[in-house]
Amino acid sequence: MSPKYINLALMMVSFFLIINILITLLFNSSIIPSQSIKRIVNGFTYSLDTSPPKCIFNSSGIVGDIPIDRCCLQIQSQLSCDPINSTEFNFKCYTSKTSERFYLINKKTLNYCENVGFYVNTE
């Protein structure tokens, strides 16, 4: 084998090793935390969504609109936000599944809240 082919093979192996190391550093360490990646994706999704952010609070059938900044604070304190089948809203946030008090939000509101740093439990 000529030295030219050996050098080419060594360059390819070193290239793949460097790529592997970079991927490991980016996704498995604190260089770029997963929350930062999630915020970038949410910000991009938020800018593409043309619907207005919506948040309402339902208390035993009495419904009221909540301003988005206050909504973020309130839904962060909820136990969970579950996906729902609705034309206007995408999530129901609550402290108890059987409670008559809950928040209804759309995807735009969820993306906004997560993008500005609120943690919303959607799992």
Mean pLDDT of 54-76: 94
Number of domains in the chain: 1
Average pLDDT, the chain: 84
Sign (positive or negative) of CA dihedral 72, 75, 81, 87: negative
Report yes or no on 93 lying in a domain: yes
Q: Which stretches within the chain are classed as H helix?
A: 3-28, 34-48, 68-76, 107-115
Residue 47 — φ and ψ, nearest 5°? -70, -25
Structural domain range at position 73: 49-123
Report yes or no on 17 lying in a domain: no
Report yes or no on 43 lying in a domain: no
Length of the chain (residues) = 123
pLDDT tens-digit readout, 22-46: 777 666 655 555 666 666 666 677 6
| Cβ atoms of residues 54 and 87 within 8 Å | no
Mean pLDDT of 69-86: 94
Report yes or no on 78 lying in a domain: yes
Describe the strand order of the beta sheet including 101-105 as a list of residue ranges. 62-65, 55-59, 101-105, 91-94, 80-83
Residue type, position 23, single letter = I
Report yes or no on 103 lying in a domain: yes
What is the pLDDT at residue 17?
86
Q: What angle do CA 22, 26, 27 make, to 5 degrees?
A: 120
Euclidean distance between CA atoms 78 and 75, whole angstroms: 5
Around Cβ 106, how many Cβ atoms within 10 Å?
A: 20
Share of the chain above pLDDT 70, in %: 82
Report yes or no on 1 lying in a domain: no
Report yes or no on 80 lying in a domain: yes
Report yes or no on 33 lying in a domain: no
